[in-house]
């Protein structure tokens, strides 16, 4: 069980654990190293068995925590909070240095506050991204800002999961317009079908796409480069069979 600094508390609706700042709170993005040292539990390496672990092993453990969180069922709250696993970077100075010097750790992006999305994108450097965004509450400002920030790094996206109400379809899908050369997995789920409207995503440039999973999504399938596609899942498919059979270069 990872130790947490005392200025963090847990708010766990529906069994899902999230970290939320208690009162008074600190700006955890600019927290001073000296404060981290003072808050650390087990400051003496004599009583801290993790001090014997090499940095590479600590990185693997941290990545496992991030991946485990990423693979959980998506949940979205009106008060967006950062993922709990980031607490590993506030345990002590060494853990923070290990975490901040591991770009892969910051490639697992879920629904979170805007400033954390920006921070994850910066800390992940040029490593391929895995992104899950689920929108269940009306928050247009957060949605626009988050999608735009993510799409600024579209060339790095390896996995993209989007789940949103149909009312946001145009706002979100219209932003997926740039080439996605690394995209291997794309899943888009809409809450209801959108009639008489169809989108060309990523300008049709998805040469690495291996898995495509669509539900209620009005996408022009023939416009995509599906030469590498291995898995195709379509739910509530809105196009006719002729268009489906016209898909070019599909080898399932």
At 225-252, the pLDDT tens digits run 888 999 988 887 766 666 666 666 555 5
CA distance 125 to 21: 26
Residues 252 and 132 in one domain: yes
Residues 142 and 203 in one domain: yes
CA distance 202 to 22: 41
* pLDDT per residue as tens digits for the range 192-215: 776 666 788 898 899 999 999 998
What's the pLDDT at 76? 46
Q: Is 33 left (phi over 0), alpha (psi -120 to 50) or beta?
A: alpha
Helix intervals (H) in 124-191? 140-151, 169-173
- Does residue 50 lie within any of the structural domains? yes
Residues 96 and 162 in one domain: no
- Does residue 118 lie within any of the structural domains? no
Residues 148 and 247 in one domain: yes
Band (88; pLDDT cuts 50, 70, 90): very high
Do 134 and 111 touch, CB atoms closer than 8 A?
Answer: yes
Looking at the structure of the chain, the number of domains it has is 2
CA distance 215 to 217: 5
- Does residue 111 lie within any of the structural domains? no
**End of a domain among 72, 104, 136?**
104
Q: Is the pLDDT of residue 139 over 70?
A: no
Q: Is the pLDDT of residue 1 over 50?
A: no
Question: Which domain range does residue 99 map to?
Answer: 1-104
Residues 171 and 218 in one domain: yes
More confident residue, 170 or 31: 170
Q: Is the pLDDT of residue 16 over 50?
A: no
More confident residue, 247 or 14: 247
């Amino acid at each position: 069980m990872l130790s947490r600094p005392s200025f963090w508390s847990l708010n766990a609706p529906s069994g899902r654990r999230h970290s939320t700042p208690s009162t008074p709170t600190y700006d955890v993005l600019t927290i001073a190293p000296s404060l981290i040292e003072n808050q650390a539990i087990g400051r003496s390496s004599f009583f801290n068995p993790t001090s014997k672990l090499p940095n590479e092993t600590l990185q693997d453990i941290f990545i496992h925590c991030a991946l485990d969180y990423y693979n959980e069922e998506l949940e979205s709250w009106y008060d967006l909070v950062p993922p709990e696993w980031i607490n590993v970077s506030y345990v002590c100075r060494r853990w923070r240095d290990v975490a901040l010097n591991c770009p892969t750790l910051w490639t697992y992006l879920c629904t979170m506050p805007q400033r954390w999305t920006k921070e994850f994108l910066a800390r992940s450097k040029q490593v391929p991204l895995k992104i899950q965004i689920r929108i269940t509450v009306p928050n247009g400002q957060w949605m626009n800002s988050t999608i735009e920030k993510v799409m600024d790094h579209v060339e790095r996206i390896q996995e993209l999961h989007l789940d949103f109400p149909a009312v946001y379809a145009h706002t979100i899908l219209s932003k997926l317009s740039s080439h996605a050369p690394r995209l291997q997995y794309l899943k888009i789920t809409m809450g209801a079908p959108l009639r008489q409207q169809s989108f060309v995503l990523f300008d049709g440039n998805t040469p690495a796409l291996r898995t495509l999973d669509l539900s209620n999504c009005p996408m022009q399938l023939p416009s995509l480069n599906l030469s590498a596609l291995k898995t195709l899942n379509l739910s509530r498919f809105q196009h006719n069979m002729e268009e489906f059979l016209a898909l070019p270069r599909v080898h399932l």
